[in-house]
């Protein structure tokens, strides 16, 4: 579907790609991974022809439709539902043609509308919007009434609705809550075409993709399976390379020893020269590169406080007197609590965080907090509020006016901001570098309580793991708001749910909450279908009269085709399972690396065969059911 051959690209004084090649299988869901700054978004720009490569080529099938989501949808006066419907350009064009088409063309137009499922379009659009957090009341609102974050969701919804042949998504969960991320995870699994997704969300990469495309050292390498499979294969490859390097180095040392001993002896000169030639022919095997990730420094409070740190009794909080956003709050927080705060966008999670942090006063009830309580509060607005002209060193000079310049630089280096970054302006730091700076800053004074509101946005997977390690070592209380399901599961001991104007303990784990969210999305889809059958959102011109009924067609051939395609599908699935079993065996990589590479290619082909067989089976079943009807 998407082929990259010998691609080379230089920009900003560095090489991002050096003769990189990869071929994505048709219909594959591919996660594009790599460290922050390696050039993943740059590759997207090259695929979209927004930049020119120095050499090589990127090829797409003729007529393939490509779409990406990289900016919010414009703030227009068009309603939300009409904005999404317009994303399907063919349907929109056909609906417009119905207004002026001559009578002899109307039948063909209606036939094509039926082929592309145009009658289900409004309910399908409503289902997607519901999954991304929009309410039924939002559908008729003009785009200009939505904030930038919500218009980003509209852009994502429009791309999913249009179903392009190649869908490019760059960190799609960064502007979604946990509920939206769970819905998107399920949606991507059943996306009918090829999707290439830049993501650091481990759950998306494990549950929604079938290949991992690793970008490193200016190269591209495709691995079958999800992210856990990728890590396992990488580790096996590193072990094989280490073993090969040790073997070659031992052989080199043995030959060099002979040369050193007998170089000066005339009787051994020929043999010494022969061994020098053998040394020159030994393959260079470099040690596997181990990428270093700087840790997060989250110092624990020096003196623990007596419990509770915070107690709420029938408390309420809001922004307008007499109109609380949250009420009936009866909660207690102790020093060893690890709370995961759940809830859809707009349910009051950030309002609750401001109340706990002391940034927003209560409107009623009792809020008791230890007067010595120190709170470290991280939220996304801090990244946006950074002065673009300030450097990390400027910020630390303001925070630590008494410290020496050397100690400030040393502290920044511990945070992962080396000598080439400490005097770089915030505008030129990456999102991950700004997030790393602020996370370490809010924890610098060893608070008793850390409130982290979406801390993993912009962090790569290794940095997220470093944050997890730091949180597990931290000995204070934590309130965590995140769409990163893995982080929530591994940090939170208890869950609180913001819902129906209050915050209460949630009786269950993250998995139970995920099932609840998915079921709610399914119910919304069923409701959308039910509304579509009772409402008439559009009134196209009257269709021509139906053709007279035909005699019932024989179904024997169609039934046999269903059985044949089902057998082919089972055979392809069996072959794929055999290959996966072989790839899961470490001996495959240690015994014969070339065989492992062949199996990887065979898996790609087997997956393509299974996808083709499934599509043929679906078409056969539909034809059989049509004949029966």
Omega cis (within 30) before 308 = yes
Residue 213 predicted with pLDDT over 70? yes
- List the single range of 48-57, 275-284, 420-429 with lowest mean pLDDT: 275-284
Whole-number percent of the chain with pLDDT over 90: 25
Bridge partners, residue 22, by sequence: 4
Select the highest-mean-pLDDT range: 23-32, 598-607, 617-626.
Answer: 23-32
> What single-letter DSSP state applies at residue 178?
H
Residue 543 predicted with pLDDT over 50? no
Tell me what pLDDT residue 554 has. 42
Rounded to 5 degrees, what are φ and ψ at 318? Answer: -170, -170
Tell me what pLDDT residue 73 has. 79
Tell me what pLDDT residue 450 has. 95
Query: Is residue 576 within 8 Å of residue 607, measured between CB atoms?
Result: yes
Residue 553 predicted with pLDDT over 60? no
Mean of the per-residue pLDDT values of the chain: 82
Tell me what pLDDT residue 315 has. 94
Contacts of 464 (CB under 8 A, 6+ apart): 200, 202, 456, 484, 486, 487
Tell me what pLDDT residue 332 has. 94
> What single-letter DSSP state applies at residue 358?
T
pLDDT band at 337; cut points 50, 70, 90: very high
- Identify the sign of the CA torsion 508, 511, 514, 518: negative
Query: Is residue 532 within 8 Å of residue 120, measured between CB atoms?
Result: yes
Residue 268 predicted with pLDDT over 70? no
Instruction: Convert the pLDDT of each residue in 113-133 to its tens digit.
Output: 888 888 888 888 888 998 888
The better pLDDT of the pair 204, 590 is held by 204
Q: Give the whole-angstrom CA distance, residue 47 versus residue 4.
A: 9
Average pLDDT on 356-382 reads 89
Rounded (10°) angle between helices 121-131 and 510-534:
160
Whole-number percent of the chain with pLDDT over 70: 83
Tell me what pLDDT residue 542 has. 46
Q: Give the whole-angstrom CA distance, residue 176 versus residue 250.
A: 53
Rounded (10°) angle between helices 178-189 and 148-162:
10
pLDDT band at 467; cut points 50, 70, 90: very high
> What single-letter DSSP state applies at residue 142?
B
N-term to C-term CA, the chain: 36
Average pLDDT on 262-274 reads 64
Tell me what pLDDT residue 565 has. 66
Tell me what pLDDT residue 594 has. 67
Residue 628 predicted with pLDDT over 80? no
Query: Is residue 168 within 8 Å of residue 191, measured between CB atoms?
Result: no
pTM over 0.85: no
> Closest by alpha carbon to 488, among 516, 514, 463?
514
pLDDT band at 263; cut points 50, 70, 90: low
Residue 590 predicted with pLDDT over 90? no
Residue 220 predicted with pLDDT over 70? yes
Helix, strand, coil percent values for the chain (each to nearest 5): 50, 20, 35
Query: Is residue 194 within 8 Å of residue 2, measured between CB atoms?
Result: yes
530 burial (CB, 10 Å; 0-12 / 13-18 / 19+) is exposed
Which helix (H) or strand (E) is 128 found in, with range? helix 121-131
DSSP assignment string, 438-470? HHHHHTTT--SEEEEESTTTT--HHHHHHHHHH
């Amino acid at each position: 579907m998407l082929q990259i051959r010998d691609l080379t690209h230089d920009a900003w004084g560095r090489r991002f790609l050096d003769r990189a090649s990869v071929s994505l299988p048709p219909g594959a869901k591919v996660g594009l991974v790599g460290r922050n700054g390696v050039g993943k978004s740059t590759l997207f720009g090259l695929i979209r022809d927004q930049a020119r490569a120095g050499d090589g080529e990127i090829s797409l099938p003729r007529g393939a439709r490509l779409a990406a989501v990289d900016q919010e949808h414009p703030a227009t006066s068009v309603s939300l539902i009409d904005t999404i419907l317009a994303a399907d350009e063919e349907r929109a064009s056909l609906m417009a043609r119905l207004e002026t088409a001559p009578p002899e063309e109307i039948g063909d137009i209606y036939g094509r509308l039926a082929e592309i499922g145009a009658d289900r379009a409004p309910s399908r659009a409503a289902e997607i919007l519901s999954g991304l957090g929009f309410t039924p009341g939002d559908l008729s609102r003009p785009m200009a009434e939505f904030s930038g974050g919500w218009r980003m969701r509209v852009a994502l919804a429009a791309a999913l609705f249009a179903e392009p042949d190649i869908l490019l998504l760059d960190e799609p969960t960064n502007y979604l809550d946990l509920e939206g991320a769970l819905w998107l995870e399920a949606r991507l699994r059943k996306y009918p075409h090829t999707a290439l997704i830049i993501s650091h969300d481990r759950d998306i990469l494990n549950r929604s993709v079938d290949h991992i495309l690793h970008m490193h050292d200016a190269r591209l390498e495709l691995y079958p399976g999800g992210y856990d499979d990728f890590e396992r294969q990488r580790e096996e490859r590193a072990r094989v390379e280490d073993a090969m390097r040790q073997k070659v180095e031992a052989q080199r040392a043995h030959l060099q020893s002979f040369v050193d001993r007998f170089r000066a002896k005339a009787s051994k000169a020929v043999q010494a020269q022969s061994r020098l030639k053998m040394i020159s022919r030994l393959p260079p095997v470099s040690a596997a590169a181990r990428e270093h990730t700087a840790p997060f420094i989250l110092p624990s409070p020096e003196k623990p406080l007596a419990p509770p740190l915070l107690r709420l009794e029938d408390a309420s909080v809001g922004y307008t007197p007499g109109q609380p956003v949250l009420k009936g709050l009866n909660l207690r927080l102790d020093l060893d609590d690890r709370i995961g705060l759940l809830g859809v966008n707009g349910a009051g999670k950030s309002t609750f965080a401001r109340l706990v942090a002391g940034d927003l006063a209560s409107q009623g009830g009792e809020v008791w907090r230890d007067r010595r309580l120190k709170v470290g509060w991280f939220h996304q607005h801090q990244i946006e509020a950074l002065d673009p002209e300030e450097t990390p060193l400027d910020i630390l000079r303001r925070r630590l006016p008494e410290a020496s310049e050397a100690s400030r630089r040393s502290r920044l280096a511990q945070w992962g901001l080396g000598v080439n970054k400490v005097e770089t302006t915030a505008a030129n730091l990456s999102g991950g570098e700004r997030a790393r700076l602020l996370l370490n800053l809010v924890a610098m004074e060893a608070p008793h309580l850390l409130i982290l509101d979406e801390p993993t946005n912009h962090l790569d997977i290794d940095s997220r793991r470093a944050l997890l390690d730091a949180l597990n070592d931290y000995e204070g209380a934590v309130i965590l708001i995140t769409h990163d399901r893995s982080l929530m599961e591994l940090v939170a001991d208890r869950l609180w749910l913001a819902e129906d104007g209050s915050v209460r303990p949630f009786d269950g784990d993250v998995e139970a909450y995920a099932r609840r969210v998915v079921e709610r999305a399914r119910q919304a889809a069923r409701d959308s279908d039910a509304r579509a059958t009772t409402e008439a959102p559009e009134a196209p011109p009257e269709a021509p009269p139906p053709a007279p009924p035909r005699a019932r067609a024989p179904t024997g051939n169609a039934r046999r085709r269903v059985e044949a395609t089902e057998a082919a599908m089972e055979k392809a699935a069996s072959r794929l399972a055999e290959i996966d079993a072989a790839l899961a065996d470490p001996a495959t990589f240690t015994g014969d690396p070339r065989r492992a590479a062949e199996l990887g290619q065979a898996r790609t082909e087997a997956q393509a065969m299974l996808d083709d067989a499934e599509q043929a089976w679906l078409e056969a079943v539909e034809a059989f059911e049509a004949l029966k009807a």
